Structure 1
């Protein structure tokens, strides 16, 4: 005996189309577009910062910044290409920013982190966290149900 299969997911829910439409409208605003660009640029800078600030000779922190920078850049690129899906992942920028903030002390040996490494990573970490929180703030307004 065959039973009809029903979708258990939320994709067929009537409010999903409305929420998707609101998210697309929010993603096409000037603030969202500027935010996407800033996230992408922050990721690119973080990835190349070991060579800009001249600490590429330290493999642990160089690899860390390269991987985290590429990740941030990919999130920014994803926000630009498919914002309706990627804005919900903007929260991931906050822990990446925290990692950038603490990585000079975690990924380097004691007393080997120069002031340039520390300032670079603290600044890019704070900027990354702020951009992540700003992107999350855009989505909170979109996903919150409207007052009737």
Structure 2
């Protein structure tokens, strides 16, 4: 037997308060800055094989695995971080997935090239991946801002 009201959980006071919190947080300049920098970082990772010059594999004459990885991961990262606060139910999952992509960008030169990565490849991915990881953690942290102060507070 369910104790929920017939209107469902979407009208519960705690859910409404949480949504209002996310709306306030995502409207701040800090959150908008994190979102803008995240989109730029993701798009840079996506185009980095052609900007930095490691897009073509000279051995096979086709796109390397790292180029494809950077293109896909960069676009997915930019997509995940664009408007991360607008999807209340998936905000945490998006930030964690974006952090995993940032960590993958750091590891990718060794995982996809097999130890034959050149310095510009390694440095580009390590720096960009580190920035992406930090931005994803910042996005995750922004969602927690103010949440801890509400947790212990009772209704009066």
Normalised to the residue count of structure 2, the TM-score between the two structures is 0.81
Structure 1 contact 39–75 (Cα < 8 Å) conserved: no
Shift of 1:18: 0.6
Deviates more, 1:43-52 or 1:88-97: 88-97
- Matched residues in 2 for 1:10 and 1:92: separation? 26
Structure 2 contact 81–98 (Cα < 8 Å) conserved: no
Tell me the residue number matched to 1:56.
Answer: 55
The correspondence for 2:112, drawn from 107, 119, 124, is 107
Tell me the residue number matched to 2:144.
Answer: 140
Tell me the residue number matched to 1:90.
Answer: 95
1:39-78 to 2 correspondences below 5 Å: 39-58=38-57, 59-78=64-83
Structure 1 contact 24–83 (Cα < 8 Å) conserved: no
Shift of 1:87: 3.3
The correspondence for 2:130, drawn from 102, 106, 126, is 126
Give structure 2 stretches of 5+ with no counterpart. Answer: 58-63
Tell me the residue number matched to 2:61.
Answer: none
Deviates more, 1:121-130 or 1:84-93: 84-93
Shift of 1:6: 5.9
Q: Number of residue pairs matched?
A: 142
Shift of 1:141: 1.8
Structure 1 contact 94–129 (Cα < 8 Å) conserved: yes
Normalised to the residue count of structure 1, the TM-score between the two structures is 0.85
Give structure 1 stretches of 5+ with no counterpart. Answer: none
> What's the C-alpha RMSD, in Å, of the aligned pairs?
2.2
